[in-house]
Amino acid sequence: MKSLLTKSSLVVALAVALSACGGKEKKKEIAETVVAEVSKTKTLDIEKPQLTFGFIKLTDMAPLAIAKEKGFFEDEGLFVSVEAQSNWKNILDRVIDGQLDGSHMLAGQPIAAGAGFGRQADLVTPFSMDLNGNGITVSNDVWAKMKPNVPIGEDGKPVHPIKAEALKPVITEYKNSGKPFKMGMVFPVSTHNYEIRYWLAAAGIHPGMYTADNVQGQIDAEVLLSVTPPPQMPATLEAGTIHGYCVGEPWNQQAVFKGIGVPVVTNYDIWKNNPEKVFVMTKKFVEDNPNTAIAVTKALIRAGKWLDEPSNRAEAVKILSMSQYVGAPEEVLANSMTGTFEFEKGDKRDMPDFNVFYKYNATYPFYSDGIWFLTQMRRWGQIPEAKPAAWYKETISSIYRPDIWTQAAKLLVEEGNIPAGDIPTTDGFKPATADFIDGTTYDGKDPISYINSFKIGNKDKAIQ
């Protein structure tokens, strides 16, 4: 399924075209056209052309699949194997140990590794893989109890976004009957963990605190959160082990497709255009292979741009449905990838920005995005002690590498692959925003005030 614009395919096309043409001038014209396309990519002096990258079977691994299938890696002189991994811990360990050269990873993973939570290592990300893409799904039984608490619109359908206030009486009912209310998320430092905690806490529901003695994060919890790998979410829900979960696609739509659960809110509504996954390599790999790191980033930026062309989404769904990638049915993937999202069965709504891979500077690794994760780690106790404001910027600057992204993007501009206007003019921080489900304002340059703005969670004094 490779693009006709890959170097090898262009050479083959040239040979075929020349053999079919009789006229010398025509042959010359074809040759000049093809050679111009071949030389268009400014191939760098690649230190390590043979690479192996990892991913989890989620829709947002798409840039890796597209960069491979459309030949963008090959255009850069890279020969890449893309391999599915069993879980996020396995991915982290294999990147740190050098078994993988890089990987699709939770945005919080390289940040936690650098901030001292969990396994510590020097990891970097030059590329943000997507915006949005997650949802919170509850079982049919829980939804039946929540629904009377949800406003109904003139069309007779629930009014979205649905806040966790609708879940609060259900949790109370479970508590009064002596049963714990359990929900799943994919990893302790995943976006999903922080999003479901944010959604619950915004309604006054305590999602639990982390301590040195309670690494499950369940101190004072009204909802018990636990880790479940993404592909196992629907089966775990169906078995009744958990009553809901926060996960990326296609595993919310799979619950709808199987008739076992109802997505109640997406992370677009929890934090509009929030960052989700990142592409991660070790600091040592980047230092030893600087041109390779730039070339990989170039290919991924091109993949993101290709993915955000609406006319390409149907083909992207076909690629992702392949067993070596996500392996979910096309109709399940298409539910969210083609500009819609289905809540209750038959309640399919337009949601053009549910999956964003390039728009809104989605591929740029903003410091402010990374600092948000640090604030949540501190809020819930994963970072056990207060830090000065400067620590947040210093920590994220060693992990998020917009300098690598910018070098890659400038080469793409020179090649004509992206417009110059797609390179943001920025100091690495997005403007302050209140685009959260509770309307709280977040300013990445003032992390302490942000942490202190919440009723539930740690509070910090400003320290020098």
Per-residue pLDDT, 23: 62
Per-residue pLDDT, 15: 41
Per-residue pLDDT, 38: 45
For 5, 34, 36, 302, the CA distances from 40, given in Å and listed in that order, are: 10, 10, 6, 14
31: confidence class by pLDDT, cuts 50, 70, 90? very low
Is 4 exposed, middle or buried, given 0-12, 13-18 or 19+ CB atoms closer than 10 A?
exposed
Quickly list H helices, 104-190: 108-115, 140-146, 168-176
Is 453 exposed, middle or buried, given 0-12, 13-18 or 19+ CB atoms closer than 10 A?
middle
Share of residues in the chain with pLDDT > 70 (%):
90
Instruction: Give the tens place of pLDDT for each residue, 139-195.
Output: 999 999 999 999 999 999 999 999 999 999 999 999 999 999 999 999 999 999 999
Instruction: Give the tens place of pLDDT for each residue, 319-370.
Output: 999 999 999 999 999 989 999 999 999 999 999 999 999 999 999 999 999 9
Per-residue pLDDT, 41: 66
- Distance (Å, whole) CA 319 – CA 70: 10
Residue 457 in this model has a pLDDT that exceeds 80: yes
Q: What is the DSSP string of 446-462?
A: -HHHHHHT-SSS-----
Residues 405-417 have a mean pLDDT of: 98
Residue 12 in this model has a pLDDT that exceeds 90: no
Residues 413-431 have a mean pLDDT of: 97
Residue 18 in this model has a pLDDT that exceeds 60: no
- CA–CA–CA angle 71, 312, 1 (5° rounding): 35
CATH code matching the domain that covers 50-131+276-365+400-430, chosen among 3.40.50.300, 2.130.10.10, 3.40.190.10, 3.30.70.120: 3.40.190.10
Element (H, E) at 413: helix 402-415
- The answer to whether domain 50-131+276-365+400-430 and domain 134-270 are alike in fold is yes
The SS3 assignment for 224 reads strand
Strand partners, 184: 226, 245
| Centroid of chain to Cα 348 | 23
Residues 386-397 have a mean pLDDT of: 96
Give the count of beta carbons closer than 10 Å to the beta carbon of residue 58: 25
What 8-state DSSP symbol labels residue 210?
A: -
Residues in the chain, total: 464
Share of residues in the chain with pLDDT > 90 (%):
88
Q: What residue segments make up the domains of the chain, in order of their start?
A: 7-40, 50-131+276-365+400-430, 134-270
Residues 443-448 have a mean pLDDT of: 98
Q: What is the separation, in whole angstroms, between the first and last Cα of the chain?
A: 55
- Distance (Å, whole) CA 263 – CA 197: 16
Instruction: Give the tens place of pLDDT for each residue, 83-107.
Output: 999 999 999 999 999 999 999 999 9
Residue 374 in this model has a pLDDT that exceeds 80: yes
Q: Is 35 left (phi over 0), alpha (psi -120 to 50) or beta?
A: alpha
Please give the CATH architecture assigned to the domain spanning 134-270.
3-Layer(aba) Sandwich (3.40)
Give the count of beta carbons closer than 10 Å to the beta carbon of residue 464: 5
Is 462 exposed, middle or buried, given 0-12, 13-18 or 19+ CB atoms closer than 10 A?
exposed
29: confidence class by pLDDT, cuts 50, 70, 90? low
For 45, 118, 313, 376, the CA distances from 431, given in Å and listed in that order, are: 37, 31, 30, 19
pTM of structure: 0.90
Instruction: Give the tens place of pLDDT for each residue, 193-202.
Output: 999 999 999 9
How would you label 15-52 residue by residue, b for 16+ Cβ within 10 Å and e otherwise? eeeeeeeeeeeebeebeeebeebbeebebbebebeebe
Residue whose entry in the numeric block shows the structure tokens 């069309």? 155
- Distance (Å, whole) CA 229 – CA 397: 30
Which of 4, 123, 104 lies closest to 52, judged by CA?
104
Residues 227-238 have a mean pLDDT of: 95
